[in-house]
Structure 1
Amino acid sequence: MQIHHRHSWNLSPAEAIALQKELRTEVVSDRPIDLSAVHVVAGVDVSVKNEQSQAAIVAMTYPGFLPIETVLAQRPTPFPYIPGLLSFREGPVLEEAFEKLKSAPDVFLFDGMGIAHPRRIGIASHMGLWLQRPTIGCGKTLLCGRYKNLAEEKGAAAPLIDRGETIGVALRTRTGKNPMFISPGHLADIETAATLVLACSPKYRLPEPIRLAHNAAGQFNP
């Protein structure tokens, strides 16, 4: 798959933050996804073990969730774990994985944040600028913002608000389980992002494409 190389990954944390502030002006987070045109959805995740990072991308049919393609890439982990700078830890290995992808998914679901990020450019937004396709951030834990009055049943949603700005939704993808934190990455909006993630979560808390990508990323060869 063709991707748009935007910058070097060899940056200090201070340089990475400055770059995020520059790139966030390019992120489009108010464009509805045409859900009727979505036929292939990909899940994206990265696992780290012994300072090796492994990226997995799983492309699946939508709405049938039949796997089409799984690609893996592995390389040394290049950047420390710093909240808010996940892109610089996972971006290099994701870049390798995206280049191996033969299919062209209509939407990418990331295990990580979109604009629900202190500088409004989580990994789904950042890599969306490289992919130039709709991307959605699906966070398992809250990075920033607050929500309230979230019912327990599957499908319940509450606005995620940070400094007076709505940056996503807390979405209950399974009754009685902790919510997912959904936000547009790039070329998406909050409403259609949440609708698609819920549709991609027929059984488990994790959307099916991310669940399979998570499993694949965690299987390191000896």
Structure 2
Amino acid sequence: MKLFDVHNFDMKKEQDFLQVQFNLQNRINLSPVIHPDSVNTCAGVDLAYWERDGEPYGVCSIIVIDADTKEVIEKVHSVGKISVPYVSGFLAFRELPLIIEAAEKLEAEPDVFLFDGNGYLHYNHMGVATHAAFFLGKPTIGIAKTYLKIKGCDFVTPENEVGAYTDIIIDGVVYGRALRTRRDVKPIFLSCGHDIDLESSYQITMSLINQESRLPIPVRLADLETHVLRTFYRKNHV
């Protein structure tokens, strides 16, 4: 489903960004289309940026793992000049072209995509994990390392126990969860993307945590890979 051409995208006005987000809001599905126990493959998605000659460039890494063995099945990436300017609250517009380009290279078909970024936990419920789902056609989950403060609302720190969480409720609406995936480590901020509910997102995320990171394995691997790729492309001026 292409709601705009991400390969020829030239929106400059905040109002245009808002209109696209509002058009998509009513299509967000917070009911699961897959049960956590039925997930066989998971993909982690992350991006990294740099500048060359004053121009922004980016690289997107997608890493697919086996949900049971946690072994890497496939790695793909895309790289290119960033044509959409950064506007607070509209990061997805900046990242979508590279995300979709990378996803089109996948031979594996992930059951769920986990993003290094927000989903429903967003000013307009349209973080990158939610927005990208309308192109990927799969359930998505947002995993943010830092808290996006909305309407001045802070989160309640969860207890220092693995799996402890507190729901982030703003104006009576559950936006996401502050989740403690490891003891003595800062929480992550979990939110639904699309075609999934918060409890399923929680179960899938917790099933992908190991002792190496507070992040679920595919997101951590994608994060590490983007740093390697950024170093390579910076050095080789590609």
Q: For this structure pair, what is the TM-score category when the shorter chain's length is used for normalisation?
A: over 0.9
1:5 to 2, 11, 27: 2
Pick which of 169-178 and 39-48 moved more.
Answer: 169-178
1:207 to 200, 216, 220: 216
Residue identity matched to 1:16: F
Aligned to 1:76: 81
1:95 to 100, 110, 133: 100
Alpha-carbon distance in structure 1 between the residues aligned to 2:172 and 2:33: 22
Residue identity matched to 2:176: G
Alpha-carbon distance in structure 2 between the residues aligned to 1:107 and 1:130: 13
Deviation, structure 1 residue 142: 1.1
Deviation, structure 1 residue 37: 1.2
Matched residue of 2:201: which SS? helix
Alpha-carbon distance in structure 2 between the residues aligned to 1:187 and 1:130: 12
Q: Which runs of 5+ in 2 are unaligned?
A: none
Q: Deviations over 1:34-70 (max 9, x none)?
A: 1121010000001001111100000000121100000
Aligned to 1:130: 135
| Contact kept? 1:29, 1:115, Cα under 8 Å | no
- 1:144-163 equivalences under 5 Å are 144=150, 145-148=153-156, 150-163=158-171
Aligned to 2:180: 172
How many equivalent residue pairs?
219
TM-score of the superposed pair, with normalisation by structure 2: 0.88
Alpha-carbon distance in structure 1 between the residues aligned to 2:24 and 2:87: 19
Aligned to 2:203: 195
Q: Deviations over 1:8-54 (max 9, x none)?
A: 33212321111101111111113364112101000000100111110
Q: CA RMSD in A?
A: 1.4
- 1:43-82 equivalences under 5 Å are 43-50=44-51, 51-82=56-87
Residue identity matched to 1:147: F
Percent identity over the alignment is 32
Deviation, structure 1 residue 149: 5.1
Alpha-carbon distance in structure 2 between the residues aligned to 1:199 and 1:96: 28
| Contact kept? 2:119, 2:126, Cα under 8 Å | yes
Q: Which runs of 5+ in 1 are unaligned?
A: none
Aligned to 2:90: 85
Alpha-carbon distance in structure 2 between the residues aligned to 1:52 and 1:69: 24
Residue identity matched to 1:36: D
| Contact kept? 1:154, 1:172, Cα under 8 Å | yes
Aligned to 1:216: 225
Q: Which structure: larger Rg?
A: 2
Residue identity matched to 1:188: I
Pick which of 103-112 and 16-25 moved more.
Answer: 16-25
Pick which of 97-106 and 198-207 moved more.
Answer: 198-207
Q: 1:90 to 1:118 in 2, by over 3 A?
A: same
Alpha-carbon distance in structure 2 between the residues aligned to 1:113 and 1:149: 18
Alpha-carbon distance in structure 2 between the residues aligned to 1:15 and 1:28: 23
Deviation, structure 1 residue 81: 2.7
Residue identity matched to 2:205: V
